[in-house]
Amino acid sequence: MSLPTIDPTTTKAWEALTSHYEKIKEAHLKDLFAQHPDRANTLSIAWNDFYVDYSKNRIDETTKKLLIDLAKEVQLEKAITQYFGGDVINETEGRAVLHTALRVPSNQNVEVDGKNVITEVNAVKENIKAFSNQIISGALKGYTGKAFTDIVNIGIGGSDLGPAMITESLAFYKNHLNVHFISNVDGDHVHQNLKGLNPETTLFVVVSKTFSTQETLSNATTARNWFTAHAPKDAVEKHFVAVSSNIPNVTDFGIAEENIFPLWDWVGGRFSLWSAVGLSISLSVGYENFEALLEGAYEMDEHFKNTPFEENIPVVLGMLSIWYNNFFEAESEAIIPYSQYLHRLPAYLQQGIMESNGKSVDRNGDSITYQTGTIIWGEPGTNAQHAFFQLIHQGTKLIPAEFIGFKKSLFEDQEHQDKLMANFFAQTEALMNGKTETEVLEELKTKNLSDTAIKKLTPFKIFEGNKPTTTVLIDKLTPKSLGALVAIYEQRIFVQGIVWNIFSYDQWGVELGKQLATKILSEINNSQVSNHDASTQELLNQYLNT
């Protein structure tokens, strides 16, 4: 069954939100709190070890009600059933979207075309477990009989960002294996990484769903050439494994079928870390931790499926994004994790969110007349405070920001943790309250300055505040809580895609550049550049003439 195809702007809720926006757009968060002191309780959700406070957003109870009405009017509930039920909701590629099936308990049933896919999922998980255990314990050895010390994940996009983000995020839990990620077709990336490696003790995991991606095949070929320059050719099978759904392409590349970890077409690249694409995660932190990650995501999926929209974390947060994107016309959202471990999270989410919802044609095939996908960016706090926070505090743009923090640190250095979290809480408070002219004047008067100097400085020191933030406070960074956190974002992508009436699970927009690059590469190889616009032509001439 097809997804609903309702233009959100034609709904009653949209109309009501449009006029409601006119009433609330100037309201200051400080006043909203003063009017409703219980706001922190009513606009927050406690779930397992998560506490999500969205009370510092420019909404009131009416906004929330209307946003939920909108979700209902576009038939989000029906769409969720279709999504989890394995309907072909990725219609332009003719596929179901079932990365959620990768994290259901092993005794459940999820059917695709009348077949329970969990049987195959369980079998692959068993292989991931056995292989990880053997590599970690040193039972599986390299061609000279030495245990492996280094794992090199070769992949790009979802075949890189997910495993790279998770292994970085879970670095505290990692074992002795060093994990490297090679993604860019930039030769300096692969050569820089290979430079310090010992072929006798290095395992390459080539990850590509399609096994046709230029970057990955080039890097895998370079890695194999580097390897065979040091080792006998028949040692390749001990040192190269692949994760792919394209078995013929992998065997053509020279990786034996028994060294392939399969995945399925119903797992989208940017949602694939839960599949064998997460092999390097399992190698890095052990299979038990990988399973805990899946368990956390599963629990969030259950929350998403079964919780009324009003208390549903992905629905509420997704609808808030719609509020800012479509009514306040905010262009971007910042994601600020207060954990250095999560430093790759914003980059990971950029692919998840922007590749999914950066669309301008609706599910009817018509051009869209409203804004879709938000621009996502961010860096960990407190570093971000010393980089771009100035613009969030005093710039001209409205940038809703999400703050993610943990009550406990992993090394349990309480002094650092308290400082970190003091900043975490201070920033959202400062962004909300700002600093008035009266407050600035009072402060400057204590500084022994002349009246003229005070007058001159005052406007620069005023913070208007009213900058919206959402705070996600989690007990501790564990594989399980990380799984749940990532699943929140995945389900938000779905919610927003449904409301915007777009297909979130294809990515045709990345194709044109790929096609042109193939053409230009062959022209570069033949030193014959033709039929380009004048700018590109001249740039190519400059390149070829150096």
| Active-site residue list | 355, 386, 514
Stretch that binds ligand F6P, among 32-40, 153-161, 223-231, 370-378 (CB under 6 A): 153-161
Min dist CB 417 to ligand F6P, Å, is 35
Contact pattern from residue 450 through residue 489 relative to ligand F6P, giving x for each residue in contact according to CB under 6 A and a dash for the rest: ----------------------------------------
Using an 8 Å Cβ cutoff, are 276 and 159 in contact?
no
According to the binding rule CB under 6 A, does residue 184 interact with ligand F6P? no
Q: Which of 475, 356, 315, 320 is nearest to 410 (CA)?
A: 475
**Cβ proximity to ligand F6P, 158 vs 373, nearer residue:** 158
- From candidates 118, 152, 156, 242, binder to ligand F6P by CB under 6 A: 156
According to the binding rule CB under 6 A, does residue 98 interact with ligand F6P? no
- From candidates 159, 201, 275, 282, binder to ligand F6P by CB under 6 A: 159
Min dist CB 490 to ligand F6P, Å, is 14
Query: What is the C-alpha separation between 275 and 258, in angstroms, rounded?
Result: 17
Q: Which of 24, 3, 124, 128 is nearest to 74 (CA)?
A: 3
DSSP 146: P
Residues 507-536 that bind ligand F6P (CB under 6 A): 507, 510
**Cβ proximity to ligand F6P, 213 vs 478, nearer residue:** 213
Using an 8 Å Cβ cutoff, are 72 and 309 in contact?
yes
DSSP 173: G
Query: What is the C-alpha separation between 181 and 155, in angstroms, rounded?
Result: 8
Min dist CB 223 to ligand F6P, Å, is 15
> Which residue shows structure tokens 């077949």?
115
Min dist CB 422 to ligand F6P, Å, is 38
Query: What is the C-alpha separation between 132 and 281, in angstroms, rounded?
Result: 9
Min dist CB 453 to ligand F6P, Å, is 55
Stretch that binds ligand F6P, among 76-84, 140-148, 152-160, 363-371 (CB under 6 A): 152-160
**Cβ proximity to ligand F6P, 213 vs 339, nearer residue:** 213
**Cβ proximity to ligand F6P, 216 vs 259, nearer residue:** 216
How far from 428 is each of 150, 182, 248, 489, CA to CA, in Å?
41, 36, 52, 21
Residues 204-243 that bind ligand F6P (CB under 6 A): 208-210, 213, 216
Min dist CB 269 to ligand F6P, Å, is 3
User: Cα 162–126–303 angle (5° rounding)?
Assistant: 55
According to the binding rule CB under 6 A, does residue 183 interact with ligand F6P? no
Query: What is the C-alpha separation between 321 and 316, in angstroms, rounded?
Result: 9
Neighbouring residues of 447: CB distance < 8 A, sequence distance ≥ 6: none
Q: How many residues bind ligand F6P (CB under 6 A)?
A: 14
- From candidates 86, 158, 380, 405, binder to ligand F6P by CB under 6 A: 158
- From candidates 142, 269, 286, 352, binder to ligand F6P by CB under 6 A: 269
Is the previous residue joined to 438 through a cis bond, with omega within 30 degrees of 0? no
- The helix or strand, by DSSP H or E, that contains position 541, with its residue range, turns out to be helix 534-544
DSSP 338: S
Query: What is the C-alpha separation between 249 and 272, in angstroms, rounded?
Result: 19
Stretch that binds ligand F6P, among 10-18, 151-159, 408-416, 449-457 (CB under 6 A): 151-159
- From candidates 8, 86, 157, 479, binder to ligand F6P by CB under 6 A: 157
Query: What is the C-alpha separation between 405 and 337, in angstroms, rounded?
Result: 6
Q: Which of 322, 318, 321 is nearest to 309 (CA)?
A: 318
State the residues that interact with ligand F6P by CB under 6 A. 156-159, 208-210, 213, 216, 269-270, 355, 507, 510
